[in-house]
Amino acid sequence: MAEKDYYEILGISRDATEDDIKRAYRNLAKKYHPDLHPGDKEAEQRFKEINEAYEVLSNPEKKAQYDRFGSSAFNGQGFNSDDFGGFDFRGFGGNPFNDIFDMFFGEDFMGRRRETGPVRGRDIREELVLTFEEAAFGTEKTFELTRWETCSVCHGTKTKQGSSPQTCPQCGGSGQIRNVRQTPLGSMTTITTCPRCHGEGKIITDPCPECKGTGKVKRTRRVTVKVPAGVDTGHVMTLRGEGEPGEKGGPPGDLFLNITVKPHPIFKRNGFDIYVNLKVSMFKAALGGEVEIPTLDGKIKYNLPEGTQPGDQIRLKGKGVNKLRGYGRGDEIVTIEVTIPKLTEKQKQLLREIENGSIKTEKNEDKSFFKKMKDTFGGL
């Protein structure tokens, strides 16, 4: 029989700790479990090898023997092709892989803890869509939410009024069935969920007619939430206890609101600052003068200096978005776009005269004005 490298099979080094061995086995067993690869003989064989390696390396005595003599020391000692690496799962009830994981780790192969006590309710996630202004200044939003709620008739007891649940006769009210089994590793105890009461420990003989014995009903309610100023797309608001009710007296889950902000037709946002492009004519840019700038608070008048260049920026302090959980606001950054209109022949001639110096400025020494005009408008 070919020599097997159990360390290589689990992908660990020879100085791996017990936790390293357990972690490697757990990850690989999840990956190659036959239930996840129905009909895949290669995955089934890999799964057998993983269990075989773990059985040896997780046992200090067998590990020491393997380190001295290799896998040949175990030939014919419990590894059968009809079993999964020495673990004969055929005697386990329900999902055998879940049971073996529960035996080793107290949970099933998907990593879910077996719950016998109070269980927290399920969380709910919803999308909350805001306008640009609502996100900037904050708002109050009302929306409809459909969720499971505790039955108002039986108050979650699941039974009809005047009746009460009975103790499960199969598990005696524990919700679990305990089995002792002899394995290649010795005597092992497995604990499985009671198939009759499904882990509840009690049986409902006279269910509530409103919730059909589930203890919950689905309802649609209107929920109002205050959205703070400054939120943005990607932010998540948490409403504690607004999720679905818990089980066996457990607390309710939470409601998470994923914020999405609609784009604005002219403003763009970066953090708490906003950006906008302002189009001005070549004449206004050259001569300067009063312009109107849009802001989140409405239009404001601004005195544009003469000789303004395309791409110049104006920063308006405190005209941006309200700072989230802070004081003050961001800024508004205005980028100048110079528009060049179609000119009449008279206008063209006037620009040519300016370009050639035929028209003198009041201050002959100020040649920069004409240079800016030429550079900005491509020689017009």
Report pLDDT for 114: 47
- The domain boundary residue, chosen from 246, 263, 280: 263
Report pLDDT for 376: 42
291 marked among binding-site residues: no
Residue range 236-257: average pLDDT? Answer: 90
Report pLDDT for 344: 83
Report pLDDT for 103: 41
Domain range spanning residue 174? 166-203
Q: Do residues 109 and 101 touch, judged by C-beta distance below 8 A?
A: yes
Residues 259 and 297 in one domain: no
Asked whether residue 79 is domain-assigned, the answer is yes
Residues 337 and 235 in one domain: no
151 marked among binding-site residues: yes
pLDDT tens digits, 306-316:
999 999 999 99
Strands 273-281 and 268-270: antiparallel
Report pLDDT for 187: 67
Interacting residues of 380 by C-beta distance below 8 A, sequence separation 6+: 340, 343, 348, 351, 355, 373, 374
Neighbours of 68 (CB within 10 A): 8
Residues 99 and 144 in one domain: no
Which of 25-34, 68-77, 241-250 has the lowest average pLDDT?
Answer: 68-77
Residues 124 and 259 in one domain: yes
Angle (CA) 52 54 60, round 5° = 115
With cut-offs at 50, 70 and 90, classify the pLDDT of residue 170. Answer: confident
d(CA 191, CA 178): 5
Report pLDDT for 185: 57
- The domain boundary residue, chosen from 151, 185, 203: 203
The CA dihedral of 49, 54, 57, 60, to the nearest 10 degrees, is: -140
CATH of the domain at 304: 2.60.260.20
Among left, alpha and beta (phi > 0; psi -120 to 50; other), residue 131 is beta
Interacting residues of 16 by C-beta distance below 8 A, sequence separation 6+: 7, 10, 24, 57
Q: Which two tokens stand for residue 81?
A: 């092709």
Residues 283 and 373 in one domain: no
- The domain boundary residue, chosen from 105, 135, 152: 105
Report pLDDT for 197: 83
Asked whether residue 123 is domain-assigned, the answer is yes
H or E segment and range at residue 375: helix 368-376
Asked whether residue 322 is domain-assigned, the answer is yes
Report pLDDT for 315: 97
Distance of CA 324 to the CA centre of its chain: 21
- State whether residue 54 is helix, strand or coil: helix
Sheet with 273-281, side-by-side order of all strands: 268-270, 273-281, 332-339, 313-316
Tell me: pLDDT of 257 over 70: yes
- What does pLDDT average to over the chain? 80
Tell me: pLDDT of 116 over 90: no
Tell me: pLDDT of 80 over 60: no
Report pLDDT for 79: 42
Report pLDDT for 95: 45
Report pLDDT for 73: 60
Asked whether residue 111 is domain-assigned, the answer is no
Asked whether residue 110 is domain-assigned, the answer is no
Maximum Cα interatomic distance, the chain, rounded to a whole number of Å:
111
Residues 19 and 83 in one domain: yes
Which of 18-22, 201-205, 251-255, 373-377 has the lowest average pLDDT?
Answer: 373-377
d(CA 328, CA 127): 28
Report pLDDT for 310: 94
Tell me: pLDDT of 342 over 50: yes
Among left, alpha and beta (phi > 0; psi -120 to 50; other), residue 138 is left
With cut-offs at 50, 70 and 90, classify the pLDDT of residue 351. Answer: confident
Tell me: pLDDT of 326 over 90: no
pLDDT tens digits, 210-227:
998 888 999 999 999 999
Interacting residues of 158 by C-beta distance below 8 A, sequence separation 6+: 151, 165, 204, 207, 208, 211, 213, 214, 215
Interacting residues of 71 by C-beta distance below 8 A, sequence separation 6+: 1, 3, 4, 5, 6, 56
Residues 308 and 378 in one domain: no
d(CA 290, CA 199): 77
- State whether residue 280 is helix, strand or coil: strand
E strands, the chain, where? 124-130, 139-150, 166-167, 176-183, 186-193, 202-203, 216-227, 236-239, 255-261, 268-270, 273-281, 289-293, 300-304, 313-316, 332-339
d(CA 310, CA 338): 5
211 marked among binding-site residues: yes
Residues 337 and 279 in one domain: yes
pTM of the model as a whole: 0.57
Tell me: pLDDT of 115 over 80: no
Select the more confidently predicted residue: 246 or 38: 246
Tell me: pLDDT of 300 over 90: yes
Residues 125 and 253 in one domain: yes
Tell me: pLDDT of 107 over 60: no
pLDDT tens digits, 367-377:
555 454 444 44
208 marked among binding-site residues: yes
Q: How far is CA 315 from CA 265, 273, 336, in A?
A: 20, 10, 11
154 marked among binding-site residues: yes
Interacting residues of 250 by C-beta distance below 8 A, sequence separation 6+: 117, 118, 119, 120, 121
Residue range 176-182: average pLDDT? Answer: 79
* Short-list 227, 253, 257, 259, CA closest to 147: 253
**Number of domains within the chain:** 5
Asked whether residue 1 is domain-assigned, the answer is no
Residues 272 and 294 in one domain: yes
Asked whether residue 358 is domain-assigned, the answer is yes
Tell me: pLDDT of 322 over 80: yes
Report pLDDT for 72: 65
Asked whether residue 298 is domain-assigned, the answer is yes
pLDDT tens digits, 194-209:
888 877 788 888 999 9
Residue range 55-62: average pLDDT? Answer: 87
Residues 120 and 134 in one domain: yes
Residues 232 and 297 in one domain: no
Residue range 92-116: average pLDDT? Answer: 45
Which of 21-25, 207-211, 341-345 has the lowest average pLDDT?
Answer: 341-345
168 marked among binding-site residues: yes
